[in-house]
Structure 1
């Protein structure tokens, strides 16, 4: 008598990853650094345009106007690209920004995210005003704050950055 062996079950598949899970912090920070390098060109061209249009002859002349202009240009840049889900750096690192429900961002939600994303820089910059710190100390303080702000995402239930949670957005993998 031959014994019948039951067909073996297929190997267990790993549980499907949630499409709304955050990319790793390492990948998000690599994207953040690459975005900073790309923004160098945006800021350079915008600064040149401002200087040309305003006939500014010295870098310190009309400084508040230049800062306001750059704030506006960066707001347009990020709002435009986030409304379409990705900047060039985000495409490179396969990261998308979506609403908390996983839908594309509206222009107003992208603008809110832009305003709240200044949490990366505003706290250390505001600290420098009353303390009157030298440039090197401002850089160190900013670096430490960026590190702290990035690590605080570990305390969010979905590992999102806090400014994303407050804006009703999230970063997800685009693969």
Structure 2
């Protein structure tokens, strides 16, 4: 494993990684939506089935992110930018708990126009809300 050189403090690096991660997530979302369509037809437009499909899409994205952060510290979108998520205290890969907290707070932040990401510009340590909540750090190698 390479040595950690600097924290990935710039919001731009994070946005580039998110942009790259959109494509594998889109494929996973299509597969999930196709499974719902195969099981329930094209009627999943609202109601409890629509809410269930939304929850499944959110969970699939969470599994992708958490599994990536837990196993190698990186999602596919983070690899080209040499970024990884690490435990703030030890520098090792995030635990399952940390990964899911990071995902939940980060996805909630996106629903608030990315406010938790933009927060890094004014935070004294240049951390996002999900960095602080999960006690993880985004590092650049």
TM-score for both structures, normalised by structure 2: 0.83
RMSD over equivalenced CA pairs, Å: 1.9
Structure 1 position 110 matched with structure 2 position 99: yes
2:23 partner SS: helix
Consecutive unaligned residues of structure 1, counting only runs of 5 or more, are: 1-17, 124-144
TM normalised by structure 1 equals: 0.68
Task: Please point out which of 87, 90, 107 is paired with 1:99.
Answer: 87
For the Cα contact (< 8 Å) 1:21–1:158, is it kept in 2? no
How far is 1:112 from its partner?
A: 1.3
Say whether the 8 Å CA contact 1:35–1:89 is kept in structure 2: yes
Equivalent-residue separation in structure 2 for 1:91 and 1:77 (angstroms): 14
Deviation of 1:150 after TM superposition, in Å, equals 3.0
Q: Which runs of 5+ in 2 are unaligned?
A: none
Contact 1:100 1:168 (C-alpha < 8 Å) held by counterparts:
yes
Computing the radius of gyration over CA atoms, which structure comes out larger, 1 or 2?
1
> 2:26 aligns to what?
40
Tell me how far apart the structure 1 counterparts of residues 135 and 107 of structure 2 sit (CA, whole Å).
16
